[in-house]
A = this chain, B = another copy of it.
Amino acid sequence: MLRISEEQVEGSLDISTSIDLARDAYRLQATNKILNPSRALLNVPGGASLYCMPAHVLGSKAIAVKIARVAPDNVVSSLPSTLATLYLYDSKTGECVAEIDAEALTAKRTAASTAVATDELAREDSTVLGIFGTGRQAEAHIPALMHVRELTRILVYSRNTKKLAEFASNASKKYHVTVIAAKSSLQVLESSDVLVLATSSSLPLFDGRLVKPGTHVNAVGAALPTTREVDSYLVQHSILFVDSRDQARSTYGDILIPIKEGVIEASHIRGELGDLLIRPRLFSRRKDDISLFKSGGVAALDAVFAEHLAKLSKN
């Protein structure tokens, strides 16, 4: 059985390839060439949330199953708050053929997914990126978004001022770009053309009325029915795309809560990102539009990334 470590994943997936793989995955999903059944979700009261995410690209030799565990309490230890393992099984015989450490994979595929959405939805002339969060996901988004827009400046905000200062300093050096530790969420909202929300918050991070016209927002953090990063006002006043309609309607608090409040209907979702890739006319930006891409992570991404890694390892 093939075993692929975090280090091997880090070394094998460059940004450009990752973005291509993410586009492939969304296109496969939009054209029904991937089996991506509802994932199983188990939420331990006061403990970890566990997601079982199976997917299969029709005609391929593998079934991919990612088991992700989200444990916000891990911030007090040395463990990451998201742990993930990806298993590949032979699609004919069911044998386990590969086990892949999937924390780097998850961060890279999520950032690549956001990059695809940003490339489709954000203004061409976007130069300032605002990031909420200082974790692995937040960092992975920097090189991914630099790949799709000519960013001149990045503002980062977190309530943890120590982590924030470290993050800004390290990221500046690592990615050769100006990264500023913002003093407030307002400072980020006033300056940014593109936002990435990558926190473990369960409550809206800011008042949606403060988001500038013309901004594109990516919300990638919360993924439980009761948690969200954006408020109902922002969702209502945005052009909304999601990674998966089914998941959005069943498990994303960012969408479910405004639906329950009666602020939006499910039909407010303009489409899936995959729909937009195969039918670009679904969205044509007007200058002051605010666009929102809400993603909770689809197994299609994991399957496409895992099969790519398994092929690389065999060659």
Q: Which residues of A contact B (CB under 8 A)?
A: 35, 37-45, 47-48, 50, 52-56, 58, 63, 65, 67, 69-71, 73-74, 77, 79, 82-83, 85, 87, 89-96
A42 touches B58 (CB 8 A): no
Q: Note all chain B residues with C-beta closer than 8 A to A52.
A: 39-40, 52, 54, 65, 67
Q: Note all chain B residues with C-beta closer than 8 A to A92.
A: 44, 47-48, 71, 73
A93 touches B67 (CB 8 A): no
B83 touches A50 (CB 8 A): no
Q: A37-B42, A82-B94 are known contacts; what are 19 more A-B pairs with Cβ within 8 Å?
A: A35-B43, A35-B44, A39-B40, A40-B52, A42-B56, A42-B63, A44-B91, A48-B92, A48-B93, A50-B63, A50-B94, A52-B65, A52-B67, A67-B87, A69-B94, A69-B95, A71-B92, A73-B93, A74-B94
Which listed residue, B39, B45, B65, touches A50 by the CB 8 Å rule?
B65
Q: State the Cβ distance, A296 to closest chain B Cβ, in Å.
A: 15
A89 touches B40 (CB 8 A): no
User: Can you identify 13 A-B contacts, CB atoms within 8 angstroms?
Assistant: A35-B43, A37-B40, A37-B41, A37-B42, A38-B38, A42-B63, A47-B92, A48-B63, A48-B90, A67-B87, A71-B93, A82-B94, A83-B96
Q: List the 7 shortest-distance A-B pairs measured between CB atoms, nearest first.
A: A69-B94, A52-B52, A40-B40, A48-B94, A71-B94, A42-B54, A83-B94
With A38-B40, A94-B69 as known contacts, state yes or no: A54 contacts B50, CB within 8 Å.
yes
Q: Note all chain B residues with C-beta closer than 8 A to A87.
A: 67, 85
Q: Note all chain B residues with C-beta closer than 8 A to A83.
A: 93-96
Q: Note all chain B residues with C-beta closer than 8 A to A43.
A: 35
Q: Note all chain B residues with C-beta closer than 8 A to A38.
A: 38, 40
Q: State the Cβ distance, A112 to closest chain B Cβ, in Å.
A: 23
Report the bound CA distance from A125 to B133 in whole Å.
Answer: 67
Residue of B whose beta carbon sits closest to that of A63: B50
Q: State the Cβ distance, A114 to closest chain B Cβ, in Å.
A: 23
Report the bound CA distance from A42 to B79 in whole Å.
Answer: 31
Report the bound CA distance from A40 to B194 in whole Å.
Answer: 35
Q: State the Cβ distance, A74 to closest chain B Cβ, in Å.
A: 6
Residue of B whose beta carbon sits closest to that of A87: B67
Q: Note all chain B residues with C-beta closer than 8 A to A48.
A: 63, 89-94
Q: State the Cβ distance, A103 to closest chain B Cβ, in Å.
A: 11
Q: Note all chain B residues with C-beta closer than 8 A to A47.
A: 91-92
Q: Note all chain B residues with C-beta closer than 8 A to A63.
A: 42, 44, 48, 50, 69
Report the bound CA distance from A73 to B93 in whole Å.
Answer: 7
Q: State the Cβ distance, A302 to closest chain B Cβ, in Å.
A: 13
Q: State the Cβ distance, A193 to closest chain B Cβ, in Å.
A: 35
Residue of B whose beta carbon sits closest to that of A68: B94
